[in-house]
Structures are given as C-alpha cells and as structure tokens.
Amino acid sequence: MAEQTPTKADLRDIGLRIKALRKERKLSQEKLAAAADLSRTYLTVLEAGGKVASLTTLLRLAKALAVNPAELFLDPAEVPASTRAIVVRICSRLMGAKRSASELARLEQLIITFLKG
C-alpha cells in the first residue's frame, strides 16, 4: 500500500474539529495543551492545520477532550453512522493497547487511507 500524506484540507479539517471540540468544552488553548502535554504554540499550529499530528498526539488530545479519537476525524453530522461505528471501534482499540511507534505509524496510515475512501 502506498503511503498517503494528509492534504492541507485534511489538516485544516482536523484542526477545525479540535478547535470546535475545545470550544464546546469551554477550554482555553492553554488548558487543553496542558491536559494533553503539548505546548500552547503547537496546539495553535494544529488547530490552524499547519502540522501533521502524530497518532500519539491525537490520542492525547482525544483523552484531554474526553472524546473518542474518531471524533477528531469525523463530524457526526457529515458521516454515515456505519462509517462512524467502524472508526470508533478502531480508535477504541488503539486507546486501550500498548503499541510500538512503528505500529502506531502503520495504523495512522490505515486510518488516513480509510477516511479518504
């Protein structure tokens, strides 16, 4: 399988989703960054779609936001329930397992490929 790099639109969408979830929870960037063990500057860049976050970073953000990691990728209003259910199951398993960096990288690529259809 060829490696697929997220597009600028993908990064922007994920960043906007993180920002929306943060605002829904009335969290400042400082508080979310601290809870996810990130710098506020890095969180600002992620929310703007300026960087590709590692799967580990996304999992930490999801935990700090108290959401399933799938919610960082999928807007419930725009994704069929069957697709959401699959991604939620994948992300739930990711959160509950110890994985090596190479496994996380492979899983990250699989999720990106799946989301791009």
What CATH code is carried by the domain that includes residue 13?
Answer: 1.10.260.40
* Residue 2 within any structural domain of the chain: no
* Residue 66 within any structural domain of the chain: yes
HEC per residue, the chain: CCCCCCCHHHHHHHHHHHHHHHHHCCCCHHHHHHHCCCCHHHHHHHHCCCCCCCHHHHHHHHHHHCCCCHHHHCCCCCCCHHHHHHHHHHHHHHHCCCCCHHHHHHHHHHHHHHHHC
For 42-83, write each residue's pLDDT tens digit. 999 999 999 989 888 998 999 999 888 878 877 666 666 676
Domain span at 109: 8-116
User: When comparing pLDDT for 3 and 70, which is higher?
Assistant: 70
Number of domains, the chain: 1
